[in-house]
Structure 1
Amino acid sequence: MATVDAESILNEKKSFGAKVSDVRKKMKELRMPWFPITVLVILVICALFAPFVSPHDPSDLDVLKGVQKIGPFESAENVLGVDRLGRDMLSRLIYGARISAFISLVSLAFGAIVGTAIGIASGYFGGKTDAFIMRCCDAVMGFPTILLALIIVAIQGGAGIQNVIIAIMATVWARFARQIRGEVLTLKERDFVVMAVVAGVRPHVIMYRHIFPNVVNTVLIIVSLLVGQTILLEASLSFLGVGVPPGTSAWGIMVSEGRDNLVDLWWLSLLPGACITIVVICMNLFGDWLRDTLDPKLRRT
């Protein structure tokens, strides 16, 4: 009996070791970009647990420290220095990550939902509906993104997180719609869709059950490639004063606040600007990897 138990335990250990080995081989095959993933994980942690990982309240003022112009690594209490009002820079950067991630993901979520639904309908029904929707997409994509976002924010009455989300969503939905529409044009000619039509399945059921599951990977790829762009767009709007309300710990506002003191208070603009640059680059690298991984055509080549 003891022999059987020992053999079974040994087999379980071997199977577990084989599983670990398979995972390692799979990870090597995928060639995961560890540096971008690490940076993005840190961003997510800061966004989700900002009150716990932030050393200070980003709105706490200390005029004396502001007058002393404490810079990076000059104080153990304020590792990355303080701004002109004595607010801790590290805490403001952490809360800025929360704002950037929230605005980017929410606007992309709504943009993906709207764009995917429109793209599926456009590609499936075709005809005049398809032509009209594609002309609308051309109009949106042909407009400079930042200018279109500025116009939408101005129409809504100025700065505000909700206005920024709507503005970004209005600039990205067309990219989802156009790309998904191209996928649907191919999918609707596939046998499983044609047989569903012949069987009398209603169009909305076909689009939801047969077409939508086959475009999910494409949606994920587009989202991953647009996260960096939406973060940059939100920072640009905030820098111009029409994004997040003034006084908020947002990266774009922090860059704007330090632009008049680039000589003596260089870290006010450099640190948030570096955060924006690093996150955008890492998100683009991760998006490229995800595209190569999920797109079977690229994977075969």
Structure 2
Amino acid sequence: MSLAKIIRSPLLPLGMVGVVCALTMVLGDALSGHDHRAIDLTARLLPPLSPDHLLGTDELGRDQLARLLTGLRWSVGAAFCATVIAFCIGSAFGILAAHKGGILGSALRLLTTFTQSFPSFVMAVTVIAILGDSGFVALTLTLGLVTWPVFSRVVYAEARSLFQREYVQAAEMTGMSKMRLYLHHVLPALIPTLSVLVVFHFAEMIVAEGALSFLGIGAPLGAATWGAMLSEGRGYMLEAPWLTLAPAFAMVIIIVSAHRLGQYLRNITR
């Protein structure tokens, strides 16, 4: 591929965003040169491009860039883990129900219809409120467990037709184990559809995590997440708008990048 084609490719900016996210999650505070928890009241509410503070500081004098990078690690990590949980549970139930059919298929349809009749965000808020726990594990498990029906419905619909195909039936008749049949013949055929769904679901989880943290029920108190930064900065919108603009802009970049990747994958898998 020529350099001109690489530059025009929609994957170039997506790849750059991915590299930045990966480096940030690995290096953390080392990229900003500040501890995101360090408080300095003598340097509170410094504007962007201030000496030693590229994006300024917040109301407690904490470096905004350090908190933004830490928030990326939390938000992207939580969205990724929640997507993996939803994908694994939804795909497993969908394939099993499509293969077995009967009562299992009916039960899955009823369960997914029931869970999707309620907004997933409302369900997540309810579950976390009932558990009374906040933290990375509780947040990712909650988001994954309330959104897995999205994957199960798609997998069930696609897998039902796959089990009717000759090569799958032939593999089953040879005595191949169910696990090997699912992993080697059914799941690979679902990858084009699931890859698009995974990317769009990841973007939705970024929004959901930010909304929960904004309400103060997702991340622990004082955690540097993008939702918490938006919540803390809303009281300083006129005095220090960069406190809300920085995390909002970061969320927009990640979400738009994920949607562009999803659209690209959808176009090439048609």
TM-score bracket for this pair, using the shorter chain length: over 0.9
Q: Does 1:201 align with 2:176?
A: yes
Contact 2:29–2:36 (CA under 8 A) maintained in structure 1: no
Counterparts of 1:24 and 1:196, CA distance in 2? 45
Shift of 1:53: 1.3
Counterparts of 2:251 and 2:43, CA distance in 1? 26
Equivalent residue number for residue 138 of structure 1: 113
Equivalent residue number for residue 100 of structure 1: 75
Counterparts of 1:262 and 1:50, CA distance in 2? 27
Matches within 5 A, 1:1-301: 31-66=9-44, 69-73=45-49, 75-293=50-268, 295=269, 298=270
Q: What does the per-residue CA deviation read over 1:212-235, in whole Å, with 9 as the maximum and x for residues that have no partner?
A: 222233332221111111011001
SS of 1:170 mapped into structure 2? helix
Which segment is superposed worse, 47-56 or 274-283?
47-56
Matched residue pairs, number? 270
SS of 2:148 mapped into structure 1? helix
SS of 1:215 mapped into structure 2? helix
Counterparts of 1:288 and 1:246, CA distance in 2? 36
Gaps of 5+ in 1: 1-19
Contact 1:114–1:173 (CA under 8 A) maintained in structure 2: yes
Q: What does the per-residue CA deviation read over 1:148-193, in whole Å, with 9 as the maximum and x for residues that have no partner?
A: 1101111221322211111110122111111111111111111111
Shift of 1:52: 2.6
RMSD, aligned CA: 2.0
TM-score (structure 2 length as normaliser)? 0.93
Rg: which structure is higher? 1
Contact 2:85–2:145 (CA under 8 A) maintained in structure 1: no
Segments ≥4 residues shifted beyond 4 Å:
none
Contact 2:98–2:157 (CA under 8 A) maintained in structure 1: yes
Counterparts of 1:218 and 1:179, CA distance in 2? 8
SS of 1:59 mapped into structure 2? coil
Shift of 1:98: 0.5
Which segment is superposed worse, 213-222 or 85-94?
213-222
Gaps of 5+ in 2: none
Shift of 1:248: 1.0
Equivalent position amino acid for 2:227 in 1: G
Equivalent position amino acid for 1:163 in 2: A
Counterparts of 1:194 and 1:158, CA distance in 2? 47
Contact 1:37–1:286 (CA under 8 A) maintained in structure 2: no
Counterparts of 2:247 and 2:4, CA distance in 1? 36
Equivalent residue number for residue 5 of structure 1: none
Contact 1:108–1:223 (CA under 8 A) maintained in structure 2: yes
